[in-house]
Amino acid sequence: MTQPTGVLWVGPLGDIGGYGNVSRNYLRALQHIDLPIHLVSSVKAQNEIGEDDIKLLSNFNRVMNNPGDNPVLVMHGPAESFLALDKKGYHKTIGITLFETDRIPPHWVDICNNLDEIWVPTHFNYRTFTESGVNPSKVHVVHYPIESSIYTKEFEPYPFPTEVKSFKFLYTLAFDYRKGLDLLIQSYCEEFSADDDVSLVLKIYVPFWIADGNFSELITSYIPKKENNPHIHLMIENTPREDLMRLYSSCDCYVSTERAIGWGMPQMEMMAMGKPVISINWGGVTEFMNDKNSFLIEPEHELEPVHPQLQLTRAIHYFGHKWAMVKEENVRLVLREAFENHKKREEISLQAKQDIKNHFSPQIIAEQMKARLFS
């Protein structure tokens, strides 16, 4: 069999969002594979990605390597983005993607089946893609890598305002109804009060389709109408990568109530930093989170339909889909345990840090990638 001569990698390498972050982590793994790599970024590098990642992209782009006469085409992003590229003349065509709910959008099936391989980061997505109709022989699990040393450095304390209390739960998210912000705020406010020395720090990117005024009203609608609600600190401004790391380091516990999740990069980053993490025990996070290295919120056995607003406004992606059903009482139980059980926080934080370093380093994931590139 003819061996590949190089890799043409296409993806949102400069983007500040999740796909961009993952793309740059893949580049760190590609550095350990002995093939010429030619990059094509669908997004211009944004300053907010941080100095380390800008330097990484600069090092790759200093010499634009020729992928040779028999290259592999790797496309990273939502499956729709694969349609824009001419796929003729390649040794192999690979799409890297994921989806968060119990199935994939119907129009993704043919897109995926028309490629040689689809890489998904989790066994959860292996099931959802193949059960939706993607040929099982094409679907392969290749984990997302992370360079732990980036997260174990010393960081300056984040300059919180004085009203932020000693114990800080943190949730960072681009607002979407699947993120479960309503569930988290309601549960947090019912479990704690203003008398507790605790703050919920919400770092939120507000997408263009939600007006600022509407967003404030939406967040307010999630807060119970009762006296003595606990403190919530809301951050909606853009945050450079270096400041985000300071924010991570200065908080005590990461919490996500995302009802449908493809991977969970913020969870992984906080675990690499040696911080305790809370997440719902369903979906992509189950690939690297367990009851030994995390606080897990147990969902109900049955799933529930995705939010009606998503089914209405983004029907092509979400109509008829389901995600985890989670009771508020289960969220409250885990929030309280994480707040009070200092010993368990230390134990799971240590285990999490070791697990991420030992199983998801760029060197380890490079071996997974190399096995597929040379197959």
* pLDDT tens digits along 2-48: 789 999 999 999 888 889 999 999 999 999 999 999 898 878 877 77
Helix axes 241-250, 51-61, angle to 10 degrees: 140
Q: How many CB atoms are closer than 10 A to CB 341?
A: 14
CB 168 within 8 A of CB 199: yes
Residues 6+ apart with CB under 8 A from 278: 169, 253, 254, 255, 256, 294, 295, 296, 297, 334, 335, 338
Structure tokens belonging to residue 56? 């990484």
Average pLDDT of the chain, as a whole number: 93
Domain residue extents for the chain: 6-145+360-373, 150-359
Q: How many CB atoms are closer than 10 A to CB 13?
A: 26
- Amino acid identity of residue 242, one-letter, is E
Q: Is the pLDDT of residue 311 over 60?
A: yes
Whole-number Å distance between alpha carbons of 269 and 203: 15
Whole-number Å distance between alpha carbons of 286 and 308: 26
Whole-number Å distance between alpha carbons of 73 and 91: 8
CB 148 within 8 A of CB 359: no
CB 167 within 8 A of CB 197: yes
3-state secondary structure of 51: helix
Beta strands per DSSP E along the chain: 6-11, 37-41, 71-76, 92-96, 117-120, 139-141, 167-174, 198-205, 231-235, 253-255, 277-280, 295-297, 303-305, 322-324
Please write the tens of the pLDDT for every residue from 255-288: 999 999 999 999 999 999 999 999 999 999 999 9
Mean pLDDT to the nearest integer, 45-52: 80
Phi, psi of 194 (to 5 degrees): -65, -20
Q: What angle do CA 208, 210, 216 make, to 5 degrees?
A: 130
Q: How many helices (H) and strands (E) does the chain have?
A: 13, 14
Please write the tens of the pLDDT for every residue from 68-98: 889 999 999 999 999 988 899 999 999 999 9
pLDDT computed for residue 176 by the predictor: 86
> Does 55 or 132 have the greater pLDDT score?
132
Confidence of residue 143 (pLDDT cuts 50, 70, 90): very high
pLDDT computed for residue 55 by the predictor: 86
Q: What are the Cα distances from residue 319, in Å, to 104, 110, 136, 212, 316?
A: 10, 18, 24, 27, 6
3-state secondary structure of 241: helix
DSSP symbol at 370: H
pLDDT computed for residue 81 by the predictor: 95
Q: Which residues are paired to 203 by β-bridges?
A: 172, 235
Task: Give the distance between the most distant pair of CA atoms in the chain.
Answer: 71
Whole-number Å distance between alpha carbons of 365 and 348: 23
Please write the tens of the pLDDT for every residue from 54-64: 888 888 765 55
Phi, psi of 106 (to 5 degrees): -55, -35
Q: Say what percent of the chain tops pLDDT 90.
A: 78
pLDDT computed for residue 216 by the predictor: 77
Q: Do 6-145+360-373 and 150-359 come out as alike in CATH topology?
A: yes
CATH topology of domain 6-145+360-373: Rossmann fold (3.40.50)
CATH topology of domain 150-359: Rossmann fold (3.40.50)
Q: What are the Cα distances from residue 275, in Å, to 29, 50, 152, 272, 339?
A: 24, 21, 11, 7, 13
pLDDT computed for residue 206 by the predictor: 79
pLDDT computed for residue 240 by the predictor: 85
Residues 6+ apart with CB under 8 A from 62: none
DSSP 312-346: HHTHHHHTT-EEE---HHHHHHHHHHHHH-HHHHH
Q: Is the pLDDT of residue 238 over 90?
A: no
pLDDT computed for residue 210 by the predictor: 63
